[in-house]
A and B are shown apart, each in its own frame.
Chain A
Amino acid sequence: MILHNLKLTFRNLLKNKLYTTLIIGGFSIGFAAFILIGLFYFTEKNVNSGFSNHRQIYRLYDVKKNSCNINYTLNSVLATDYPEIKNTCPMEYYGNFVLTAKDEQATTSTEVGNIISTNNNFFDIFSVDIVEKLSTMPFDGKESLVITESVAKRLFKNKNAIGQTLDIGNTYFTKSGKISAIIKNLPENSSFKAEVILNSDNENFRMSKYCKKDNDCYNLTNHYIQLNEGTDDKNFTSRLNSTINLNQFEVGQLGLQKLDDIYLSSLALQESHNKGSARLLNIFLAIAVLILLLSSINYLNYTVSMQYAKLKTIGINKTNGADWRQLIAYSFTEVSLGTVISVILSFIIAFLLLPYSEILFGKAIHIEMSLISNLLPVLGTAILFVILLNSLAPFYLLSRFKVTDFLSGIRKRNGRQIGKQAMLTFQLATSIALVASVLCVFKQLNFVKNADLGFDKESMVRIDVPYTFKKQDALRQEINKLPFVSKSAFSNGCPGHISMRMGTNTGSNDFIVSIITIGDKYLETMGIHLINGREFLKSDVNKACYLNEAAVKRYGFESIKGQRFNNGKDGGYEIIGVTNDFHISSFYNAIEPVVLIYNPDVATSILSVKLMPGNIGQFIDKIKKVWKEFLPYETMSFTFYDEQFQAMYNKDDRMAKSITFFSLVAIILTCMGILAQIFLISLYRTKEIGIRKVNGAKLTEILTLLNKDFIINVFIAFVVATPIAFYAMNRWLQSFAFKTELNWWVFAIAGLIAMLIVMVTVSWQSWRAATRNPVEALRYE
């Protein structure tokens, strides 16, 4: 029985090869996209779940300051005073600059991007597998450090790394320590990375320091706690806040953040963790569901039309003694077999595309057991949904099927097929909305990348100078001598890289200003205009400053005359000029108030160089030569201002690319759906076309007849899609402080593209149908 059904189904599939390929291929592509997005979704959701205690681990943060950097000394209080806490450790991360680990004996070095400092509890809380250790605990003494297997392999090859001394250093500092343990690599899919772990019991290994005015300094760090199982985190948080002396640790109010939540949290806690975007993830989820719907619709259309073509077989089977159950079983086999073939194909496609996940999603996806166990129920449900949906068609048909109609040769086709039209319109609307969104995203990205930033970003190089370097003036003079350098200036902080921000202490109108300390010729070099006021004089050093217009506005100054900037040092600075507004961060943010303090002695870390047009690569090489004369042992690290600003939109770029890719998938699916439909329509209307031609219809009239409905569909879809796309894009653009207009032509183009695709797809098949010999068409029946 089952064999019999399978045999029939297979032969049916092979009978209409083109049609079958379209449908099964289309569904495979759609489902493969669904699988890939599913994998990505759960990879993002599973960040940090590789740590076996992840459900009990929390990070403390200061709710009022919105920061997770809290006084280091808090940790010991947490460890001793709170029995609810099973374990606690500090964690400080150095990841923003590349560190080089050198082993003296082996004299090999390797670049390590991720270093943390913490204490012995870290290894328990995060259940770290220890490969080898010197004594009972991973850290053995204050000068000890722990490295991962991969670092050990890179540095020592097959030699024993335990007990070796390691130098860690870069431009800013050097430290050394003894390797007291080697650990397995930490889980790949986590919000923090660590290749070298320093013992934070050693004050030398604590980096960030916060100093109050009276030189009373303390270390800042992240605090992780592992609560005992069954402890309610909310109760604990309130107990913690009511019992701890918050002032002692300079904390406003403590909050707990689950380790599981760190990656996708919308809290911006001034942290070094990898962050994902919950919003982006939701966009992907929506796209996955849309694609699944689009491909299911194609498949459903296929099933329905196949069932109509199957009426003959059903009739014959019934006269041969098949009962209702057997007929359903046959239809069900047919529906499921196609689905199963598609699903197998889609797994293969997804598997083949997996190595390119980095390009698709900006994140490499690794197949893990936890991922599979998450995804399988979802995929299972989706497959079941598709099969059930598609089984409804035969159920419906069989329940209305009358064998006498079949025997007397009546072929009933419901005329307008509103369901099919609606589904096609939905597909077209989705495609139009996606195309419009893609166009809009690209328009905005193009806008933010090419917009005027308020300063001259073209051929402007930013060179980072180590703070130990003292011969700034000489270096600048040498560089200025190069014929292709038009101007240069030093500063501390620069647009795109602000290193100091402070509150204004102006009572109710308190706000944050960004400080750039500048040297000579800074405005000139950067192309920032002085709107009013005067140039800095030698006597202004560390006494005067400029404000940008935004700052003046924020302060509410009518005139800057006699006004002072009363922060940064006792007595403050005299405001002697106003500059135009310029962007110091991405277009997500509004123009921020900036204070430019004139102090060439402090403005030492960033050298901005304006190049003339020409071969930029050669120019950079020549600058590097000059650099070598001054700093022979340091590699020159530099960026271009325009690239630096464009890099702020990397995430958006990736999103744009992914959405484009999946929109293409959606469009292909829609095309396949249209193709399959016109194929069927021309098949069913063969007789009609024949009769019309015999009665003198022209080719153009037949083409119009066949294409008319599709064009109407595009119009309806356009009307439906435009407001939806407009709303979605408006929402997206709202996250930018500076945005392009949502022009009508974006939507018009999307509609036109859809129209073009439909016309091309439909015309091919309808041309074939219309040019057929009518006699041939009428001979059937």
Chain B
Amino acid sequence: MSMISLRHIYKYYDSKFQRTFVLKDIDLEIQEGEFVTIMGPSGAGKSTLLNIVGMLDEPSEGEYFFIDQHVTKLSEKKKVEFHRNYVGFIFQAFHLIDELTVYENIETPLVYKGMKVSDRKSVVADMLDRFNMVAKKDLFPAQLSGGQQQLVAIARAIAGKPKLLLADEPTGNLHSDQGKQIMELLKNLNGEGITIIQVTHNEEFAKYGSRIIRLADGLISSDSKTK
């Protein structure tokens, strides 16, 4: 049984005279533990696909199963629940909250999950430890370098122990050295059993994934295993 299965997924926007398609008839199966890279030119529908998988967006047509659950038929409340417990997000622009410290940023998803204060403390402490950021825990995002900010974002994304990590061009705003570091980290996480789907333009970073899916004009143009 695959973890993610998309069947005949369409995404389109209707304007007055025409229907603009973003995704056209996407069929996709992703197994638990995979590290998938999605590539393609701008406007190919990569981010939209990622958002649909992450339950932040809805397909216009088609069916989406996530670990047996028929997501397209879930209530809004259930969806938030699923998203909360199974999915972590990281972005090109990091999207940390400027007014919160490193510690508090990592803590945020746990707060929304309703975790107890003492439990939160130990989880965040683990994360800080793991990413060597104990000394920086009281700094604000603006006081960190880009690479460090993305580290915080990753720590935040995996603090809730998700099964799936979605990364939308995680290295897009970083130097290549920092990028490499982040990719290594993602690879390690994948080794620990987290399923990862990343979107990237970088051919080199794409190869960190075990499978590369290429999108063009809303269609899957190729789907191949690396090496």
In the complex, per-residue mask of A302-338: 1 if CB is within 8 Å of any chain B CB, else 0:
0000000000110111111111101000000000000
Check A8–B100 contact: CB distance below 8 A. yes
**Set A11, A320, A407: member contacting B108, Cβ < 8 A:** A320
Q: Mark the stretch among B91-99, B144-152, B190-198 that contacts chain A.
A: B91-99
- Chain A contacts for B156, CB-based, 8 A: 320
- Chain A contacts for B178, CB-based, 8 A: none
- Chain A contacts for B130, CB-based, 8 A: none
Bound complex: CA A4 to CA B77 (Å): 22
Knowing A317-B112, A321-B160, the reply to whether A12 touches B80 (Cβ < 8 A) is no
Knowing A321-B84, A403-B56, A404-B56, the reply to whether A326 touches B99 (Cβ < 8 A) is no
**Set B48, B84, B104, B160: member contacting A7, Cβ < 8 A:** B104
Between A and B, 10 residue pairs with Cβ closer than 8 Å are: A8-B100, A313-B99, A317-B97, A320-B112, A321-B80, A323-B112, A324-B80, A403-B51, A403-B57, A404-B51
Check B96–A318 contact: CB distance below 8 A. no
Check B95–A319 contact: CB distance below 8 A. yes
Query: Interface of B with A (CB < 8 Å)?
Result: 47-48, 51, 54, 56-57, 76-77, 80, 83-84, 89, 91, 95-97, 99-100, 104, 107-109, 111-114, 156, 160, 168
| Nearest CB of A to B77, in Å | 7
Check A322–B95 contact: CB distance below 8 A. no
Check B111–A316 contact: CB distance below 8 A. no
Check A8–B112 contact: CB distance below 8 A. no
The verdict on A15 contacting chain B, using a C-beta distance below 8 Å, is yes
The verdict on A408 contacting chain B, using a C-beta distance below 8 Å, is yes
Bound complex: CA A537 to CA B104 (Å): 103
Bound complex: CA A407 to CA B99 (Å): 19
Bound complex: CA A313 to CA B96 (Å): 8
Bound complex: CA A313 to CA B100 (Å): 11
| Nearest CB of A to B159, in Å | 10
The verdict on A1 contacting chain B, using a C-beta distance below 8 Å, is yes
Bound complex: CA A15 to CA B108 (Å): 20
Check A407–B56 contact: CB distance below 8 A. yes
Knowing A8-B99, A316-B95, the reply to whether A321 touches B112 (Cβ < 8 A) is yes
Check A407–B91 contact: CB distance below 8 A. yes
A7-B100, A312-B95, A407-B51 are known; give 16 further A-B pairs, CB within 8 A: A1-B114, A313-B99, A315-B95, A316-B97, A317-B108, A318-B56, A319-B95, A320-B156, A321-B113, A322-B112, A323-B77, A323-B112, A324-B76, A403-B56, A407-B56, A407-B91
Bound complex: CA A408 to CA B99 (Å): 22
Count of A-B residue pairs with CB < 8 Å: 64
Bound complex: CA A313 to CA B168 (Å): 18
Bound complex: CA A320 to CA B155 (Å): 12
**Set A1, A15, A322, A403: member contacting B99, Cβ < 8 A:** A15
In the A-B complex, the 9 residue pairs with the closest CB atoms: A321-B84, A11-B99, A323-B80, A320-B109, A322-B112, A321-B112, A319-B89, A316-B95, A404-B57
- Chain A contacts for B77, CB-based, 8 A: 323
- Chain B contacts for A403, CB-based, 8 A: 51, 56-57
Query: Interface of A with B (CB < 8 Å)?
Result: 1, 4, 7-8, 11-12, 15, 312-313, 315-324, 326, 403-404, 407-408
For A316, give the chain B residue with the smallest CB separation: B95
Bound complex: CA A190 to CA B107 (Å): 61
| Nearest CB of B to A420, in Å | 25
Check A316–B47 contact: CB distance below 8 A. no
| Nearest CB of A to B161, in Å | 12
- Chain B contacts for A11, CB-based, 8 A: 99-100
Check A12–B99 contact: CB distance below 8 A. yes
Check A1–B89 contact: CB distance below 8 A. no
- Chain A contacts for B100, CB-based, 8 A: 7-8, 11
| Nearest CB of B to A338, in Å | 15
- Chain B contacts for A316, CB-based, 8 A: 95-97, 108
For B79, give the chain A residue with the smallest CB separation: A323
| Nearest CB of A to B172, in Å | 12
Bound complex: CA A12 to CA B97 (Å): 11
For B117, give the chain A residue with the smallest CB separation: A3
| Nearest CB of B to A542, in Å | 92
- Chain B contacts for A15, CB-based, 8 A: 99
Bound complex: CA A264 to CA B26 (Å): 79
Check A326–B95 contact: CB distance below 8 A. no
Check A407–B97 contact: CB distance below 8 A. no
| Nearest CB of A to B92, in Å | 10
| Nearest CB of B to A6, in Å | 12
- Chain B contacts for A317, CB-based, 8 A: 97, 108, 112
- Chain A contacts for B112, CB-based, 8 A: 317, 320-323, 326
Bound complex: CA A360 to CA B111 (Å): 50
| Nearest CB of B to A324, in Å | 8
- Chain B contacts for A324, CB-based, 8 A: 76, 80
For A326, give the chain B residue with the smallest CB separation: B112
| Nearest CB of B to A14, in Å | 9
| Nearest CB of A to B40, in Å | 15
Check A408–B47 contact: CB distance below 8 A. yes
- Chain B contacts for A12, CB-based, 8 A: 99
- Chain A contacts for B107, CB-based, 8 A: 4
For A5, give the chain B residue with the smallest CB separation: B111
- Chain A contacts for B104, CB-based, 8 A: 4, 7
Bound complex: CA A12 to CA B99 (Å): 7
Bound complex: CA A15 to CA B99 (Å): 8
| Nearest CB of A to B158, in Å | 12
| Nearest CB of A to B45, in Å | 12
Knowing A323-B77, A323-B112, the reply to whether A8 touches B56 (Cβ < 8 A) is no
| Nearest CB of A to B100, in Å | 7
Bound complex: CA A4 to CA B120 (Å): 13
Knowing A315-B95, A326-B112, the reply to whether A407 touches B80 (Cβ < 8 A) is no
Bound complex: CA A701 to CA B80 (Å): 50
For B159, give the chain A residue with the smallest CB separation: A320
Check B96–A407 contact: CB distance below 8 A. no
- Chain B contacts for A326, CB-based, 8 A: 112
| Nearest CB of B to A609, in Å | 77
- Chain B contacts for A315, CB-based, 8 A: 95
| Nearest CB of B to A20, in Å | 13
| Nearest CB of B to A376, in Å | 35
Bound complex: CA A320 to CA B111 (Å): 10
Bound complex: CA A408 to CA B46 (Å): 11
Bound complex: CA A238 to CA B100 (Å): 75
Knowing A404-B51, A407-B47, A407-B56, the reply to whether A321 touches B97 (Cβ < 8 A) is no
For A315, give the chain B residue with the smallest CB separation: B95
Bound complex: CA A549 to CA B59 (Å): 94
Bound complex: CA A323 to CA B104 (Å): 18
Bound complex: CA A316 to CA B77 (Å): 18
Check A4–B111 contact: CB distance below 8 A. yes
Bound complex: CA A326 to CA B114 (Å): 11
**Set B51, B95, B111: member contacting A1, Cβ < 8 A:** B111
Bound complex: CA A316 to CA B91 (Å): 10
Bound complex: CA A313 to CA B99 (Å): 9
- Chain B contacts for A1, CB-based, 8 A: 111, 114
| Nearest CB of A to B87, in Å | 8
| Nearest CB of B to A317, in Å | 7
Bound complex: CA A8 to CA B89 (Å): 21
For A319, give the chain B residue with the smallest CB separation: B89
Bound complex: CA A318 to CA B51 (Å): 12
Indicate the member of A313, A320, A407 with the most B CB atoms within 10 Å: A320
- Chain A contacts for B83, CB-based, 8 A: 321
| Nearest CB of B to A547, in Å | 83
- Chain A contacts for B47, CB-based, 8 A: 407-408
Check B109–A321 contact: CB distance below 8 A. yes
For B114, give the chain A residue with the smallest CB separation: A1
- Chain A contacts for B48, CB-based, 8 A: 404
| Nearest CB of A to B86, in Å | 10
Bound complex: CA A324 to CA B56 (Å): 13
**Set A313, A323, A404: member contacting B97, Cβ < 8 A:** A313
Bound complex: CA A403 to CA B54 (Å): 12
- Chain B contacts for A321, CB-based, 8 A: 80, 83-84, 109, 112-113, 160
Check A319–B99 contact: CB distance below 8 A. no
| Nearest CB of B to A614, in Å | 73
